[in-house]
Amino acid sequence: MAEINAVYVLIARDLKKFVREKSRLLSTLARPVIWLFLVGGGMSRLVSDSMGMPYIQFIFPGILGMTILFGSIFSSISIIWDKEFGLMKEILVAPVSRFSIVIGKALSGSLISLLQATMILLISPIIGIDLGLQQIIYALAVSFLLAFCISSLGIIIATFFESFESFSAIMNFIVMPMFFLSGAMYPVQKLPDILKGVSKVNPLTYGVDALKHALLQDSRFTDFSIAMDIGVLIAASIIFVSIAGYLFTKRI
Amino acid sequence: MPVIKINNLSKSYGEIHAVRNVSLEVAKGSIFGFLGPNGAGKTTTINILCTLLKPTSGTASIAGYDCNTESSGVRNHIGIVFQDTTLDKDLTAYENLLFHAYLYSVKRKDRKKKIEDSLEFVGLYERRHDLVKKFSGGMKRRLEVARGLIHDPEVLFLDEPTLGLDPQSRSNLWEFITKLPEKQGVTVFMTTHYMEEAEVCDQIAIIDRGSIIAQGTPNELKKSIGGDIIYIKTSDNEKAASDIEKLLNLKPTIKNGEIYVTVERGDTCLPELIRTLGESVLSVRLQRPTLNDVFLQLTGKQIRDVEISAGATLKENVRSHRRKFGRD
């Protein structure tokens, strides 16, 4: 019971703060919208004919993946913030296991990302993607799984940093490469072998691929089977959350 | 009945010995002061007691729970106010305490009342729905004390509770720290490097470079360094000094135009002295030894000097060791 209470309150705290900070809510939604319309819209003129689908529609699953990537990573690395400003100590001396703290944090990151993903999904009719209820549920389920996976990865990253000064390093060396090497903006098959290799160990690649299955429903644009996507995401989630739990007991 | 028992506790980081063979007992319902300069090992000891650190050797127990093997039992029975603020500034006072109540599984029906009672106790009830970032340093510290109490701990740890507070907030904070054992039935274990603040403690242990160098009540410690000092100025110091030596059997010294004598109890000796010397007395002054004098006597250093040299370097060494090898 103690552990469930702890998981609950960690989630409740993050959600409360997320809803309270309107500016944060706005800026997390602005990024994907800007990418979708400015980058997607601009590039459409360049590539649309050769693809068999408007470019803006092609990148929609990728933009959803991006929303989840940023939402989850930001939510998890707020742990660094908590370490720097002290609250983490209060959490660590409480009579709850480190693993519950990791689960609580991973779930709060997942739920916040899921909220953001839902709002981005609402844009889909504007860019000409019509979704049935089944597709929406499927996309949200994939979103949640991907969000949990990335949040767990974010917790692993957070255990290695003591202050928020490292924030831009995390952005430049982890988050942006993950985004560009995920197939979100362009198909990964056409990349040089070495980058293709990197994209294959990038969990976001499988998340974006699963979202393409859900939203585009066109096998020309997907790289793996749905079963493979989901399987990799589940396996990566279990591995990441275990590592995060281990690191939390060792390092923090 | 001791609520905290520490037996031969040591903590080393490689070659650095942060805590060496510390043994002490803290009686239930008392205020215990753990004194020493910065970097003497106070926080390391607290971190071991709070189960945040594993000792290298020795044992410690709180309310019957072993700090090394029964961390969950220990954690359920202690409250902690750390040196640095550990509140969420973007939540309200009430929300911070609610967060804590959930973490400690305070029963649903008791939550609201416990939170409101402890906010009342520290005088922050009116401000309960304000965001913590609007609070002053003293209010934050009081809120943390309130938070430490809502799960009814046996022991409340206060690590340098008055650090960084202005004099008014400080005395304000002291006022209810001293009320804690009586009103909340909690044992207080506090560290400080302000010796004058430790006067309110029932028991004191002085730690320097990881080892305990003295233990006792504030009065016992002060007595241990030879008691009070009386300074007397008379019209004829030479004669007065020899009178004091002959008639009262004391050992006076003349220095800077004043006679000074060390006596066990200044308050009873003073009238006797004045009676003996009669009208030749021009001025009298009684100086009680402070805990600072105790520290000075025991270590040969002022506590403030130690802070800068040994304290600072030890802290730095421990931190860099932690960076390299992790916490344990």
- Residue ranges making up the domain that contains B236: 227-287
Contact call for residues B213 and B178 (beta carbons, < 8 A): no
Question: Is the pLDDT reported for residue B322 higher than 70?
Answer: no
Q: Which chain B positions have a beta carbon within 8 Å of A252's beta carbon?
A: 327
How far is B153 from A95, CA to CA, in rounded Å?
12
Give the number of domains in chain B: 2
pLDDT in tens, B62-119: 999 999 999 899 999 999 999 889 999 999 999 999 999 999 999 999 999 999 999 9
Interface test with A, best of B62, B70, B86, B151 (most A CBs within 10 A): B86
Distance CA A95, CA B254 (A): 62
Average pLDDT over residues B237-245: 85
Report the pLDDT value the prediction gives residue B315, as an integer from 0 to 100: 59
- Domain identity same for B9 and B70: yes
Average pLDDT over residues B159-170: 84
Q: Taking the C-alpha atoms of A226, A228, A230 and A231 in order, what is their torsion angle to the nearest 10 degrees?
A: 150
Co-location of B194 and B247 in the same domain: no
Listed by start position, the domains of chain A span 2-251
Answer whether A6's CB lies under 8 Å from A100's CB.
yes
CB contact under 8 A, B51 and A252: no
The number of beta carbons lying within 10 Å of the beta carbon of residue B185 is: 12
Q: Are residues B213 and B250 in the same domain?
A: no
B187 and B273 part of one domain: no
Q: Which residue, among B328, B246, B232, B228, has the nearest Cα to B288 in the 3D structure?
A: B228
| CATH code at position B279 | 3.30.70.260
Q: What's the pLDDT band for B318 if we cut at 50, 70, 90?
A: low
Q: Spell out the residues 6+ positions from residue A2 whose beta carbon is closer than 8 angstroms to its own.
A: A95, A96, B105
Distance from CA of A95 to the nearest CA of B (A): 5
pLDDT at A217 over 90: no
pLDDT of residue B328: 45
Point out which residues pair with B2 in neighbouring strands.
B27
Asked if residue B8 belongs to a domain, the reply is yes
Verify whether the Cβ–Cβ distance A250 to B327 is below 8 Å.
yes
Q: According to the model, what pLDDT value does residue B310 have? A: 52
| Res. B178: pLDDT tops 60 | yes
The contacts of residue A28 (CB under 8 Å, 6+ apart) are A67, A70, A71, A74, A116
Identify which has the larger pLDDT, B277 or B128.
B128
What is the average pLDDT score of chain B?
86
Least confident of A180-184, A238-242, B13-17, B251-255: B251-255
Residues of B with CB under 8 A from a CB of A: 50-52, 72, 75-76, 78, 80, 82, 84-91, 95, 98-100, 102-105, 147, 326-328
Shortest CA distance from B327: residue in chain A: A251
Please check the confidence at residue A98 and state whether its pLDDT lies above 60: yes
Please answer yes or no on whether B99 and A96 come within 8 Å at the CB atom. no
- pLDDT at B326 (0 to 100): 52
Inform me whether the pLDDT recorded for A32 exceeds 60.
yes
Average pLDDT rounded to a whole number, residues B194-223: 88
Taken in order A217, A222, A228, A232, the sign of the CA dihedral is negative
Residues of A in contact with B75 (CB under 8 A): 93-95
**Whether residue B277 sits in one domain with residue B160:** no
Would residue B96 count as lying in a domain?
no
> Which residues have C-beta within 8 Å of that of residue A21, sequence separation ≥ 6?
B90
What is the pLDDT, as a whole number, of residue A66?
95
Whether B37 is covered by a domain: the verdict is yes
The DSSP annotation for B249-311 comes to: ----EEETTEEEEEES-HHHHHHHHHHHHGGGEEEEEEEPPPHHHHHHHHHSS-HHHHIIIII
Q: Report yes or no on B193 lying in a domain.
A: yes
Alpha-helical segments (H) within B79-206: 93-103, 108-121, 137-149, 167-177, 180-184
Q: What is the mean pLDDT of chain A?
A: 90
CB-CB under 8 Å, A5 with B51: no
Q: What is the pLDDT of residues A40-62, one digit of tens each?
A: 888 877 776 667 788 888 899 99
